[in-house]
C-alpha cells in the first residue's frame, strides 16, 4: 500500500525535459508566442545577408510587438548588427524583407520610414570638436524638429548640467558619449528605437542607468525599443521580449516570460531516509548533482504539504526541501546547444 498512497508519477514525477520542447527541440523554431492581434513595430520575413559565400544573416524572421523592449540576444558575430543595419537600410538584404511600423521598407521610402526611427549602431556618433548641444542641433535640423527637443533629450539622458554647456564632446567620458548617442536617437521621440549594444564600454553605474532608461522608454514615450546585446543578464533585466540569434539564424523568439517558463523547475529533497523516501515517492530520483538529495518535479504548496505529511506518517523526516529552477543561461544553452558561455 505504501506505493499506492503516494502521488502518481504525472503529479510528482521528475521530468528532465523542459516544460515545452526541450534541449533537443528544433533549433530554428519559429516560436512566435504573440497573439495575432498584437501590432508589430518591426517584422522581417526571411531576412538574409550574404557576403560572398558567408551567410551572415540567414532567413531571420523578427517579430517585435509595439511598445515592447525587445532584447536581440546573440554572441559576438552572430549577425545582430547586420540585421539592425538592414532594418535601417544601411546594408542591403540579399533576400527577404522588413516592415517597419507597418510600412514595408524599400529603398524609395527608406528615409521617410526612418524619420520615425531613432538608432544607435555599434558606437555613439558625435562630433568631438562640438558641444553636446551643437551635436544635437545638427540632428535637430536634419530631422526638422523644434529647438525645445534638444533640452528635453539632454534632460532625459542627464546631460543637462550647466557645467557641460561649453564642454566639447571630445572631453566626455565614453559613458557620457553613449548617453549623448542615445539622446540623438531620442530626438523627436520616435516610436521605434534601435539600439545596438548601448551599454558597451560603460561602467557599472552607467550600465544600470542606461538599462533603467531603456526599460522606462515604452512607458514614458510609447516607444518600442529593440536593443541588441550579447549579455544574457542584461536582456533579462531590460527586455520583455527576446529574440535569440546564433550564427545568423534566429533560434528562438517570444516573451521573456515564455523563455523563463522553458526552464525546468524541481524540488530538491533531503530526508532522514532517502532510500525509503525514494520508494514512497513515485517519480522521485536521486539528485544527479548531489547524492544526499532526491529530486522531484516542482509542485504547488498544497501538494508539497501533503507529501511532507505522508513522509512524516511513514517515519521519514524532511531535513531540507528546496525549490530550484534553471537559470536563463541554462535555458539559453539548451536552446542554442552552445557549450561555451556568451
Partner 1 sequence: MTGDKDALQIIPPAARRPGMVRQVILEFEKSKRKHLWLICAAMLGVLLLWFGYQSARQVEVTTDYRVLLYSLPTVNAVFLPLLSAVVASTVCDVENRANTWKQLLTMERAEDLFCAKWLTCALVLAVVVTVEVAAASVIGGGLGFQSIPASECFVLWVSTLAVCLFVATVVECLCLFIANQFVPLVVGVALSFLGLFSMYLPPAISVFVPSSYFGLMSTVGMSYNAATGVITWSTVTWPVGYLALIALLTAATFVISLRAFARKEL
Chain positions contacting partner 1, by CB under 8 A: 85, 88-92, 99, 101-104, 106, 109, 111-117, 119, 121-130, 134, 137-139, 141-145, 168, 184, 188
Q: In 3D, which of 210, 178, 245, 249 has the Cα closest to residue 69? A: 210
- What is the torsional sign of CA 248, 249, 250, 252? negative
Q: How far is the CB of 193 from partner 1 (least distance, A)?
A: 12
Report whether 247 contacts 78 (CB < 8 A).
Answer: yes
Our CB check for partner 1 shows the closer of 97 and 308 to be: 97
Report whether 230 contacts 292 (CB < 8 A).
Answer: no
Q: How far is the CB of 87 from partner 1 (least distance, A)?
A: 10
Q: How far is the CB of 170 from partner 1 (least distance, A)?
A: 9
- What is the torsional sign of CA 176, 179, 185, 189? negative
Our CB check for partner 1 shows the closer of 10 and 112 to be: 112
Our CB check for partner 1 shows the closer of 14 and 182 to be: 182
Q: How far is the CB of 198 from partner 1 (least distance, A)?
A: 14
Q: How far is the CB of 130 from partner 1 (least distance, A)?
A: 6
Q: In 3D, which of 138, 319, 329, 100 has the Cα closest to residue 224? A: 100
Which residues, 6+ apart, have CB-to-CB distance to 207 below 8 Å?
Answer: 199, 234
Our CB check for partner 1 shows the closer of 117 and 232 to be: 117
Our CB check for partner 1 shows the closer of 191 and 255 to be: 191
Our CB check for partner 1 shows the closer of 15 and 99 to be: 99
Our CB check for partner 1 shows the closer of 137 and 330 to be: 137
Q: How many CB atoms lie within 10 A of CB 256?
A: 19
d(CA 134, CA 152): 14
d(CA 130, CA 96): 40
Q: How far is the CB of 196 from partner 1 (least distance, A)?
A: 10
Report whether 181 contacts 154 (CB < 8 A).
Answer: no
Q: How far is the CB of 83 from partner 1 (least distance, A)?
A: 14
Amino acid at each position: 500500500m505504501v506505493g499506492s498512497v503516494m502521488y502518481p508519477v504525472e503529479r510528482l514525477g521528475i521530468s528532465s525535459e523542459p516544460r515545452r520542447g526541450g534541449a533537443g527541440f528544433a533549433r530554428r523554431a519559429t516560436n512566435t508566442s504573440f497573439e495575432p492581434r498584437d501590432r508589430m513595430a518591426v517584422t522581417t520575413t526571411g531576412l538574409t545577408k550574404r557576403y560572398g559565400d558567408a551567410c551572415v544573416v540567414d532567413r531571420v524572421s523578427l517579430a517585435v510587438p509595439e511598445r515592447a523592449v525587445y532584447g536581440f540576444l546573440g554572441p559576438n558575430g552572430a549577425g545582430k548588427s547586420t540585421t539592425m543595419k538592414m532594418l535601417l537600410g544601411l546594408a542591403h538584404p540579399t533576400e527577404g524583407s522588413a516592415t517597419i511600423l507597418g510600412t514595408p521598407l524599400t529603398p524609395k521610402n527608406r528615409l521617410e520610414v526612418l524619420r520615425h526611427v531613432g538608432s544607435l549602431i555599434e558606437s555613439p556618433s558625435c562630433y568631438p570638436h562640438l558641444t553636446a548641444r551643437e551635436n544635437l542641433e545638427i540632428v535637430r535640423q536634419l530631422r526638422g524638429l523644434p529647438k525645445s527637443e534638444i533640452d528635453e533629450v539632454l534632460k532625459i539622458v542627464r546631460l543637462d548640467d550647466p557645467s557641460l554647456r561649453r564642454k566639447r564632446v571630445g572631453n566626455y567620458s565614453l559613458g557620457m558619449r553613449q548617453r549623448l548617442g542615445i539622446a540623438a536617437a531620442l530626438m523627436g521621440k520616435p516610436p521605434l528605437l534601435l539600439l545596438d549594444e548601448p551599454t558597451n564600454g560603460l561602467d557599472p553605474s552607467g550600465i544600470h542607468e542606461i538599462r533603467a532608461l531603456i526599460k522606462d522608454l515604452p512607458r514614458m514615450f510609447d516607444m518600442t525599443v529593440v536593443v541588441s546585446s550579447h549579455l544574457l543578464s542584461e536582456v533579462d533585466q531590460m527586455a520583455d521580449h527576446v529574440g535569440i540569434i546564433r550564427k545568423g539564424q534566429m533560434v528562438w523568439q517570444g516573451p521573456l516570460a515564455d523563455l523563463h517558463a522553458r526552464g525546468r523547475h524541481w524540488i530538491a529533497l533531503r530526508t532522514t531516509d532517502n532510500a525509503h523516501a525514494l520508494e514512497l515517492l513515485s517519480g522521485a530520483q536521486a539528485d544527479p548533482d548531489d547524492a544526499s538529495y532526491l529530486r522531484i518535479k516542482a509542485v504547488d504548496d498544497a501538494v508539497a504539504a501533503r507529501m511532507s505529511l505522508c513522509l512524516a506518517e511513514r517515519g521519514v523526516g524532511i531535513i531540507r526541501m528546496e525549490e530550484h529552477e534553471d537559470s536563463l543561461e541554462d535555458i539559453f544553452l539548451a536552446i542554442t546547444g552552445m557549450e561555451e558561455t556568451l
